[in-house]
Amino acid sequence: MLERVFPRLPQGRATLLGPGDDAALVAVRGGRVVIATDLLVEGRHFRRDWSTGYDVGRRAAAANLADVAAMGGVGTSLVVGLACPASLPVEWAETFADGLRDECDLVGAGVVGGDLSRAETIVVAVTALGSMRGLEPVTRAGAKPGDLVALAGRLGWSAGGLAVLSRGFRTPRALVEAYRRPQVPYPAGPEAADLGATAMCDVSDGLVADAGHVAAASGVCLELSTDSLEVTGPMRDAAQALGQDPMRWVLAGGEDHALVATFPRGTPLPDGWRVIGRVTRGRGVLVDGEPYELGGFDHFR
């Protein structure tokens, strides 16, 4: 659908980087601003019996601020649209605002406006604006054969929490809380840009799927190694109880909002980054040398 829609959209003179990456880049007088947007729909992205208004506020802000970080930028402002039923308790909206506030505080961003409408179900639309600090954005399109693939943040926690909740449980609590409120490694995005990252992407749809976006945009192959990926004790215990494979959560689970980036070989990576693979000639993503069939989240699959 997007391949057919994008060519129909106008690109104004101020557009430096348009649709297709984690965020857009727009020229303004005296500088540039990076822009990203996301939707959260009740019943699709969250359920009120699983998540509070506060949780949804944190997730909505995180999804957008993570996209700004994935360009190497720092989030500065959010505008928020909220559509909801008339029966929604006002306390839900208040705690939702509290969640937005607390997530924005992590990067020093503000909520500067938005819109309110009535709908049959809750829909949250957030647009984030950020600063590139005078640097070029790190897009998905710069990975080169010979680069290292590195990860900042954690994977599989949110998918584990979703699996637990889907079976009617509330423990392990660490996984459930990770699903409700992702822990985004915001400083790692600008850090990667400063280190000379050649490409970067927010892991929102699953590691294999989002690494695939980098591979496709760069015209290369990303080879990942499961030996470099962590399966924690809570994930292992929950997966055993549910009869599932925790590595599938790590490879195909989304919404942890880790950052995956490529760096020239020999780049000294700071604490918080770990090498998980390499960039080679070819196309797509390989896991331990083989194609991985369970790619990640797709709204219309």
> Rounded CA gap, 269 and 150, in Å?
9
Domain ranges in the chain are 2-131, 148-291
Percent of the chain with pLDDT over 70: 97
pLDDT at position 37 is 96
Instruction: Name which of 205, 213, 218, 200 is nearest 260 in CA terms.
Output: 200
Edge-to-edge order in the sheet of strand 221-224: 199-203, 258-263, 148-152, 273-280, 221-224, 284-287, 290-291
What average pLDDT score do residues 111-126 get?
A: 95
pLDDT at position 299 is 67
pLDDT at position 28 is 83
Do 283 and 215 touch, CB atoms closer than 8 A? yes
Lowest mean pLDDT among 45-49, 183-187, 192-196, 295-299: 295-299
> Rounded CA gap, 45 and 162, in Å?
11
pLDDT at position 297 is 67
CB-facing half-sphere around the CA of 65: CA atoms within 13 A? 32
pLDDT tier, 1 (very low <50, low <70, confident <90, very high otherwise): confident
pLDDT at position 233 is 96
One fold for 2-131 and 148-291:
no
DSSP structure string for 216-281: HHHTSEEEE-GGGS---HHHHHHHHHHT--HHHHHHH---S-EEEEEE-TT----TTEEEEEEEES
> Rounded CA gap, 42 and 116, in Å?
16
Do 207 and 252 touch, CB atoms closer than 8 A? yes
**CATH for 2-131?**
3.30.1330.10
With 0-12 / 13-18 / 19 or more C-beta atoms within 10 angstroms meaning exposed / middle / buried, residue 99 is buried
* 110: pLDDT strictly greater than 80: yes
> Rounded CA gap, 106 and 257, in Å?
15
> Rounded CA gap, 227 and 231, in Å?
10
Mean pLDDT of the chain, nearest integer: 94
pLDDT tier, 261 (very low <50, low <70, confident <90, very high otherwise): very high
**Model pLDDT for residues 233-249, shown as the tens digit of each residue:** 999 999 999 999 999 99
- Looking at per-residue pLDDT, the higher value among 6 and 80 belongs to 80
Instruction: Name which of 85, 87, 114, 119 is nearest 100 in CA terms.
Output: 114
pLDDT at position 296 is 65
**CATH for 148-291?**
3.90.650.10
pLDDT at position 41 is 97
**Token pair recorded at residue 21:** 């990456």
pLDDT at position 295 is 61
pLDDT at position 152 is 98
Entry pTM: 0.91
pLDDT at position 149 is 98
Per DSSP, what are the bridge partners of residue 28? 31
Residue keyed to tokens 């727009």: 26
* 278: pLDDT strictly greater than 70: yes
**Model pLDDT for residues 44-92, shown as the tens digit of each residue:** 999 999 999 999 999 999 999 999 999 999 999 999 999 999 999 999 9
